Amino acid sequence: MNIRFVSQEDIDKNKWNSCIYYAGNGNIFGYHWYLTNVIKEWDALVEGDYESVLPLIRTEGSFFKRSKLYTHHLLRSTGLYSVHVLSEKRINSFFEAIPKKFQRGEFDLNEGIKIPQQCPWKSNQTFSNALILLKESYDQIASNYTPALCQKLERANIAQLYTVNNLKPEALVDFYKIHNSNFNEAHFHAYLRVMYNALHRGWGFLSGVKNPQGELLAANFFTISNQRFMSLLPVVSPNGKQSGALEFLFDMSIRIQAEKPMILDFNLYEFNQFAEQFGAVKSPYYRLKR
């Protein structure tokens, strides 16, 4: 198995993106444009003619400290992508090929990768994303909604909430900054770059919810790639929480995307009650550490 280290500037972008596109476990986080717009320093391991790839997201080394691998807030899971079957031998070969200069580090594997028992990197933590199959009709999907969710949606209808699709990325980020305590100023421009790049490629769209007075109550950016309809930046205001605005936004998105060969990806580190009320199922993935 021919696995080699490739520095960031030497990566063939087209071949890399082709691997992510055709990989059975591909996701939007693995594309060259997404990685480059989120982080500055990353290299890769590549098998053959880009049949399998593993991004190595690293810190900059110094005289006293070596580079180390790390996870990034805007890259929920990357890991090993391949157009081949991810056998234990292939997985182990990649982890054994990680350069020795990365003595320490951690990264989150994309879903669908099982960690071999003999893996030189060990599982440090397990996360659970949430997914809904959208291939069924809306009525079939909605039959799994909890009674509490149905009440929230009824409340939203009574309040005459409606969706808008003319928001700009700056408006979403500003709204997120106001109503989400986890906002990190360092991520401001990264969010914008990702959204504008996705819009340019036709791989995403913004959606918001307003009341009859025109007040923005909830908003989100959804990406579409690799048969995944993924929530990227959901946010709701206090007034929106009272009227079920974010639930209404997700429900309307499900109505539009139902009966398509896609998966609704809630993009979570931890399975939560919000996703559970829609009938979502858990999808585990792992963090490796050395």
The pLDDT of 59-81, averaged and rounded, is 72
Architecture of the domain defined by 3-120: 3-Layer(aba) Sandwich (3.40)
Could you tell me the pLDDT band of residue 137, with boundaries at 50, 70 and 90?
very high
> Most confidently modeled of 64-68, 77-81, 217-221?
217-221
Domain ranges of the chain: 3-120, 130-284
Q: What is the pLDDT of residues 88-130, one digit of tens each?
A: 999 999 989 998 888 778 888 888 888 888 888 888 789 999 9
User: Do 3-120 and 130-284 fold alike per CATH?
Assistant: yes
130-284 CATH fold: Aminopeptidase (3.40.630)
**Using CA atoms in the order 6, 11, 17, 22, what is the torsion angle rounded to 10 degrees?**
-40
**Encoded tokens for 19:** 């691997």
Nearest alpha-carbon partner for 290 in 119, 35, 39, 53: 119
> What is the share, in percent, of the chain residues with pLDDT greater than 90?
73
Q: What are 227-270's pLDDT values in tens digits?
A: 999 999 999 999 999 999 999 999 999 999 999 999 999 999 99
Q: Which of 135, 138, 130 is nearest to 273 (CA)?
A: 130
CA distances from 270 to 15, 35, 236, 267 (A): 33, 23, 19, 9
pTM: 0.92
